[in-house]
Structure 1
C-alpha cells in the first residue's frame, strides 16, 4: 500500500487507515485479529483507536494483538483522549485529564508510546494553550511521537496549529486532524480543509463511506445486519438516508457500474485522492468489508467521474465563502 506523509511532518502512514470504533463492543478478538492481520499483510500501517472506544476495550484488544500477531514496529498506532462520557461536559481538555488518559491508554495498549496522539474534541472550558501543552509534554516525554486534534472546527484548528507554530522547536506542530468527511458530508471543505492545507496538517477522514450509506446497501431498505438496523447505531445512520443522500448514492452506483467496480470502491477512491487527505479511516466490521476497501489501492477514478461526483455532492456555501463578484 502506498505510504504518505502526514501533513508537513516526517511521519509516513498507509493511505488507508484501519478504525477500531467497534472493537471490544461489536467486534470480538477473533474478528479483530483477522482484520488486523489482513490489513497488515496488505501493507497497511495506520491503526486508529481512542480511549473511549468500547470504554477502553478497543485499546485493550489492540494491545493484546500487537506483538503477538503483528510486529509493533510495523504499525503506526493512533489514539485519542479528551472525549468523556459526561452529558454535561462532553470534552475535557485539561492537562491533567489528558496526560492521565494517555498513561491509561499506554497501559491498555501495552506499549511505551503511541505514534500519533490526538485531542479528541475541543474543550471550551479549558484554555487552548493548556490543552496543547499536554501534547508538548507527551511528545517531549516520548510517550507520543506526533500529535494532532480531532473534531475541531476550522477556527479551532487554525488557532491551535498557529499557536504551535509560533514557537518552533519548543512546541509540537500538529501533524494531523481527524474529522468526518465523505461524499455525503463535505462540510470540512468550507473552513477546516483550507486551514489544514495552509498550515500543513494532514486530514484523516472518519466515516469515509457516509456511515455505510455510500456502499449502496440502504438503497432498497435497511439490511437487518446493518448499523441502520441496530437500536444503538440507527440514529447515527438516519441523517444520511434522506433524498439528497439518495441522489448522491445513485450517482456513485452509476459510476461504479460504468467502471465495473463497487460503489464502496468509487466513494473511497474519490475521498482518498482529495487534496489535503492523507488517509481515510475505514471502520470495517468484517473481513469481507475490509477486503473490498483494500481492493481500492490500484483504483484511480477518471477525471470526468470525479467531476461528476463533485457536482452532484457539492455543498452549498454562501456568504462569506461565495464569490459574489461572479453575479
Structure 2
C-alpha cells in the first residue's frame, strides 16, 4: 500500500486507515484480529480508535493484538479523547484534567508507552481553547504522544487551534468526507491546506450508502437495519444520494470493479486527503476496501463524479475550495 506524509510532518502513513469503531461491540476480538492481520499484510499502517469506542473495549482489543499478534512497530497508532462531557471536578470533555486523564487511560488500555497520533475527538465550547491546547502541548513534550490531531472541527475551529499551539502543531484532522458529503470543501479543506494539516476522512463510503447495498432495499444484516444505526445511515438515503450512487455503480461497471472501490478511490485522491479511515464488519468486507488500492480513476470518470456530486446550493464554492486547496500529498510517491 502506498504511503503518504501525515500533513506537514515527518511521519508517513498508509493511504488507507483502519477504523475500529465496532470493535468490542459488533466486532469481537477474533474478527478484529482477522481484520488487523489482513490490513497489515496489505501494507496498511494507520489504525484509528478512540477511548469511547465500546467504552474502551476497542482500545483494549487493539492493545492485546499488538501484544500477541501484530508488532507495535508495524502500526501508526491513533486514538482520540474528549468526546463526551462527564460529571466530576474536571467536567470531562476537553479540559486539561480530563484530557490528560483520558490519555493515561488510553495508554493503559492499549498497553503502550506512547501514542503516535492523539486526537481531540470534538470541539468543546465549555472549555477555553488555550486550556485544551496546553494539554496537547504537554502530551507531546512529556513523550507520551508523538503527533497531535483533531476531529470534527469546523474550518474556523481548525484554523484557530492550528495557530494556538506553542510547542507542537496539528498534523491531521478527521471529518466526514465522501461523494455524498462534500461540505468540508467549503472551509475545512482550504484551512487544512493552508496550515499543512492532512485530512483523514471518516465515513468515506457515505455511511455505507455508496457501496450500493441500499439501492433496492435495506439488507437485514446491514447497519441500516440496526435500530442503533438506522438514523445514521438514513442521513444519506436521499434523492440526491440515489443519483450519486447510480453514477458510482455505472462507473464501477465500466471499470470492472465495485462501487465501493470507486467511491473510496475518489475520496482517497482528493486534494489534501492523506488516508480515508474505513471500518468493516469482518475481514471479507474489509477486503473490498483494500481492493481499492489498485484503482486509480480515469480523469473522465472522476470529472463525471465531481459533477454529479457537487452540492446544488453552493457548487461554485465547493468546486473552488477543492481547486484552491494546497495538497500536502502532491509530492508524495
Aligned to 1:177: 173
Aligned to 1:201: 197
CA contact (8 A) 1:91 1:122 kept: no
Q: Summarize deviations over 1:31-79 as a string: whole Å, max 9, x none.
A: 0000000001011000000000001000001001013110000100100
Aligned to 2:325: none
Offset of residue 298 of structure 1: 1.7
Runs of at least 4 residues of structure 1 off by over 6 A? Answer: none
Q: Summarize deviations over 1:148-193 as a string: whole Å, max 9, x none.
A: 10010000000011223xxxxx421101000110001111011001
CA contact (8 A) 1:253 1:263 kept: yes
Offset of residue 92 of structure 1: 1.1
Q: Which moved more, 1:310-319 or 1:115-124?
A: 310-319
Distance in 2 of aligned mates of 1:134 and 1:272:
31
Aligned to 2:218: 222
CA contact (8 A) 1:78 1:115 kept: yes
Distance in 2 of aligned mates of 1:37 and 1:320:
43
Offset of residue 23 of structure 1: 0.3
Q: Summarize deviations over 1:5-33 as a string: whole Å, max 9, x none.
A: 01100011000000000000000011000
Aligned to 2:323: none
SS of residue paired to 1:296: helix
SS of residue paired to 1:43: coil
CA contact (8 A) 2:92 2:98 kept: no
The 5 Å alignment of 1:44-55 reads: 44-55=44-55
The 5 Å alignment of 1:126-205 reads: 126-164=127-165, 170-205=166-201
Offset of residue 319 of structure 1: 11
Aligned to 2:5: 5
Aligned to 1:167: none
Aligned to 1:94: 95
Distance in 2 of aligned mates of 1:320 and 1:301:
23
CA contact (8 A) 2:82 2:99 kept: yes
Q: Summarize deviations over 1:267-289 as a string: whole Å, max 9, x none.
A: 00001000000000001111111
- Superposed CA RMSD: 1.9
Q: Which moved more, 1:11-20 or 1:284-293?
A: 284-293
Distance in 2 of aligned mates of 1:98 and 1:175:
18
Find out whether 1:29 has 2:68 as its counterpart: no
Aligned to 2:235: 239
Distance in 2 of aligned mates of 1:322 and 1:182:
13
Aligned to 1:287: 283
CA contact (8 A) 1:91 1:123 kept: no
Distance in 1 of aligned mates of 2:130 and 2:100:
14
Distance in 2 of aligned mates of 1:249 and 1:63:
37
Distance in 1 of aligned mates of 2:86 and 2:179:
31
Offset of residue 316 of structure 1: 3.8
The runs of 5 or more residues in structure 2 that have no matched partner are 320-333
Distance in 2 of aligned mates of 1:161 and 1:114:
20
Aligned to 2:38: 38
Distance in 1 of aligned mates of 2:317 and 2:306:
17
CA contact (8 A) 2:6 2:198 kept: yes
Distance in 1 of aligned mates of 2:187 and 2:93:
24
Question: How many aligned positions are there?
Answer: 317
CA contact (8 A) 1:208 1:281 kept: yes
CA contact (8 A) 1:180 1:206 kept: yes
CA contact (8 A) 1:91 1:121 kept: no
Which among 289, 302, 315 is matched to residue 298 of structure 2?
Answer: 302
SS of residue paired to 1:107: helix
Distance in 2 of aligned mates of 1:318 and 1:213:
23
Aligned to 2:273: 277
